[in-house]
Structure formats: structure tokens, C-alpha cells
Structure 1
Amino acid sequence: MIGGDEPSSSEVSVLDCRFNTWREAPRMREERSSSASSVIDGKIYVAGGCEDVNSENWVEVFDPKNQTWGNVTNPGTETHPGASVVSFGIGRKLYILGAEKEVVYDPDEASWNPIGLDADLVCAGSLFSGVIGDVMFLWIDGDFMWYDSKVKVMEAVVWR
């Protein structure tokens, strides 16, 4: 789903790690280049990378159980982070960081809001390596760190 400078196709391939096999999934509704993807509650959210940043398909969500794509409301031009974004899912929410704006989507309420979090999470999100549960893991300048979203604390591992 992450492409180069040229728009990619809307084709999607899925790796089943249990059986080490690839299979084709249903196509996305929008062709994308340099999109961002995140997993929340077992669903895959794909954002950005569209030629038209106002597209109703700017964010799509894939439900692997049903093998279907659905739309997520576009955050709108006043809060839109732009075409090229970074995203991560943590605490049952989708965070999208753009060059100038950051927004958060709550799937339970189907609503977008500006990110009102501490600077550590926004900074970490722009550098993150992955999320497991409610913990974001990072590798920054040779240091392994993590951010726990429940207690809002960033910690570093001291190497000996």
C-alpha cells in the first residue's frame, strides 16, 4: 500500500503469517501513493496518498473478516493533514500526522478532532516503529523507547 512518487494501483495483497502465504484482497476504492496504514480493533485503516485530498475515499477501512472496504468520513479541509501522512492506531483511535496538522479519529463515535495530546506522543508518532496494544515502540538514534498511552509516559531502555 505504500508506493513511490507515482500513484499505485488500488490492488491489495495480504500476508497470512500463520501459513506464510500471500493472497489478493478486494481492491481499495482509491489509487494511492505513499499512503499510511494502521490497525485498530482488527480493521486496517488506510489514509492519504490520494491525488484528490478532498476525496470521500481519503481514508478507507478494510474489515478482514468480511473482506470488505468501507469509507471513513474525510476529516475536512480545515483539519486535513494533507496528502502525505503518518498514521498509527493506539488506544482504539486512529492518529494521523501531516506536515502541518494532526487529527485523531474515534471509530466508536465516527468523529475527527484535533490532537490535544502532549508533545511526546506527537513527536513519537512521527518517528514510531510500531504499536502493540496501547504501547508505541520506537527506535530513535540508537535508543529503544516506548510510549504507554494509558499512563501517558515515555520510557527508554538503558543498554548495558
Structure 2
Amino acid sequence: MIRARMLATAVLFHDGDLLMMKRSPNRTLSPGMWAAVGGHLEPHEINDPEAAVLREIQEETGLLPEDLEELRLQYILIRLNEQEIRQQFIYTARTKRRDVNLTEEGELHWIPRAEVMNRSIPFIFRRVLQHYFDRGPHPHVWVGTAGYDSAGTATVHFTELVDPQQV
């Protein structure tokens, strides 16, 4: 049986630094690796991933909506993980402040952009960061699907999300 899981993630910047979480070694998802803040959508958030990401930001960092600028949905990722289809909504924003709370999820650190890719990052998040760092913020949303390239190497294929009726 294939199950579905929806997640919301925040890629938060402040003065060129990215807020990253070194996940606790006891976590089920990506233990000990560096990731962004975020988590699963609650049932009442299924039609509102922005509410989910704001909740996750507040729960994991203490940052409130008024502490954020330019919150924008930038990516929707879809991938198969064993018998689970994961759909992940990735938002970007700038924070007005750097002070964040302690969290049981892991340790929060502001990492200079030039050092981010030197961390142990889950494959899918690494591909998103590479794409974002190469292209920067966009007014549109990218859809990424995990798969393989012609050489058989795991990759993420990105496509601009468009409404064909508006083209």
C-alpha cells in the first residue's frame, strides 16, 4: 500500500546566512544531518501549507510571522520514499532577527551561505539548495521530482509551475 505524506519546510536567511538545523541523532528523519526547519502538515493544514510552515517555524525557532519578510512558496517537491509519496512545500523568507529558541528537533545554527554546501545535507534538500543558489529567488514556483538522469544518477528534475490556461 502506498501512503502519502505532506511536509512544509522553511529556508530562512538573515544577512546572507542560512538557518540550518543539525538534526538530533535520535530523529527518525535524517538523523544527525543538516536540514531546514519544518515538518508534517496537520490534517487541518492540508489545504494551507503556509499555515503549516508558519507553525513549524514558530515551534522550532520561536520566530513569529511578524519576524519574517518575503515569505514565499518557492518549491514543491515530489518523491517516492519506499512505499510513501512525499510532497514537500518549501518556502523561503528573510528574518528580521537572528535570535532563535532551543528545540528538541536538533541544534539551530546560522551558517554563512558560502559554507552551507560543506555540510552533511539530505540528498533532496541539497539539490533544492543548489538550484536556489544557482538561480536565486523567483516570482514563480518550481516543481521538483526526484528520479534518475540518463546516466542512472539520482537527481531532481525541476520544472517551472505554470497554469497552461494563463500562458
TM-score, structure 2 normalization: 0.30
TM-score (structure 1 length as normaliser): 0.31
